[in-house]
Structure 1
Amino acid sequence: MAESRSSSTSTTSIHVTALDGLVNVNSLFTIAVFVGLSLTTPGQRSLENRSACDADISVAKKLLVFEVVSFSFFLFSSLVAQGLKLAINLLNSTDVDEAFRAHINLKALRFGMLGSAIGSVMGCLFLMLSMVNVIEIRLGMLSCGSRSTVNAVASMIVLVTSALLVYISTAVYAFLH
């Protein structure tokens, strides 16, 4: 009996810690959304110094749409994670001094954590798309073939995609086991 109680306590504590980490990462990405928005202004000239390489207003519009969608996914993910933490820490705890010992529906917890993880992944994808627009506005359009633009976009896509694959693999493994 004491062994299962100890296992429940550590497992619930791990879930709360994981949810805290997810909310913290989403907060950092949300800051990146607003930094991306602040770095661009309509009619801005690129650093390429060729007017043909300057982004038009449609790129700025796409940037704004991608930033808003990204922010929405990060907010969704954070709110789901915070809701799960609330359920664990407040609603299911019988003793205020033992907030990490909660009797919760593990299926609901797993699906909530999966939903939160999906929200973070989608937010990252839209943030990456918006960063492509920021790069095009600042360094020049990809269609111009600017070496700086191509290198920046290619390295970002490779690194972010690799990180997302690791994150998704880990989340799926945790969900299935």
Structure 2
Amino acid sequence: MRTTASSTSVHVTALDGLVNVNSLFTIAVFVGLSLTTPGQHSLQLKGICDADINVARRLLVFEVVSFSFFLFSSLVAQGLKLAINLINSNDTDEAFRAHINLKVLRFGMLGSAIGSVMGCVFLMLSMVSVIEIRLGLLSCGSESAVRAVAALVTLVSSALLVYISTVFYAFTH
């Protein structure tokens, strides 16, 4: 099965958007990494609510895993774009009309989308650790930490649900 010229252009645009979003999330990963200073005190007045080294370690692991998924997703998307732009494209004016196997394109786009979703999940988990470092451990019942985590998990989960549903719809139609 081959793609048409108009659908190939749409795929390239979708891949561009995915790479751009992954780049923004990658910036968030590095901001999170900058917050892994040992011995940092939370904004809670109780010293027992301060995050220990294990929370900072968990933050670092989640950030690295998140970065890895975003990098995977971006590289797959960039590879697909490269294939679209090079395969069967004799003229640079025809870069968006290259013919590529639709099954390969769909599989690659699905892999890239899964990488982005997993990157978002681990970024969300790392942000929970950032919240615990800055606002106090959730186990201490810090009201501001609980509210921040609840808002983060609710909004990110909702957005991921919409994204996954859209990807599933696009993949099946």
TM-score interval (norm. to shorter): over 0.9
Check if 1:90 corresponds to 2:86. yes
Aligned to 2:95: 99
**How do 1:66-77 residues align onto structure 2 when only pairs under 5 Å count?**
66-77=62-73
Provide the rounded CA distance (Å) in 1 between the counterparts of 2:46 and 2:169.
Answer: 49
Moved over 6 A (4+): none
**How do 1:139-158 residues align onto structure 2 when only pairs under 5 Å count?**
139-158=135-154
Provide the rounded CA distance (Å) in 1 between the counterparts of 2:160 and 2:142.
Answer: 27
Aligned to 1:3: none
What code does the residue aligned with 2:19 have? V
The answer to which of 94-103 and 158-167 deviates more is 94-103
Contact 2:136 2:142 in 1 (8 A): yes
Provide the rounded CA distance (Å) in 2 between the counterparts of 1:174 and 1:64.
Answer: 34
Number of residues of Structure 1 aligned to a counterpart in Structure 2:
171
Provide the rounded CA distance (Å) in 1 between the counterparts of 2:20 and 2:39.
Answer: 35
Provide the rounded CA distance (Å) in 2 between the counterparts of 1:90 and 1:104.
Answer: 10
Name the SS of the counterpart of 1:58 in structure 2: helix
Aligned to 2:118: 122
Unaligned stretches of 5+ in structure 2? Answer: none
Provide the rounded CA distance (Å) in 2 between the counterparts of 1:92 and 1:127.
Answer: 38
Provide the rounded CA distance (Å) in 1 between the counterparts of 2:58 and 2:88.
Answer: 44
Contact 2:87 2:99 in 1 (8 A): no
Aligned to 1:36: 32
Name the SS of the counterpart of 1:100 in structure 2: helix
TM-score (structure 2 length as normaliser):
0.97
Check if 1:64 corresponds to 2:71. no
Aligned to 1:167: 163
- Of 102, 105, 111, 1:109 maps to 105
Name the SS of the counterpart of 1:160 in structure 2: helix
Provide the rounded CA distance (Å) in 1 between the counterparts of 2:64 and 2:93.
Answer: 40
Check if 1:138 corresponds to 2:137. no
Provide the rounded CA distance (Å) in 2 between the counterparts of 1:92 and 1:48.
Answer: 61
User: What is the root-mean-square deviation in Å for CA atoms of aligned residues?
Assistant: 0.9
CA shift for structure 1 position 97: 1.3
What code does the residue aligned with 1:68 have? V
1:53-103 Cα offsets, whole Å, 9 max, x none, are 000000000000000000000000000000000000123313221111111
Identity of aligned residues (%): 81
What code does the residue aligned with 2:76 have? V
Unaligned stretches of 5+ in structure 1? Answer: 1-6
What code does the residue aligned with 1:131 have? M
The answer to which of 31-40 and 62-71 deviates more is 31-40
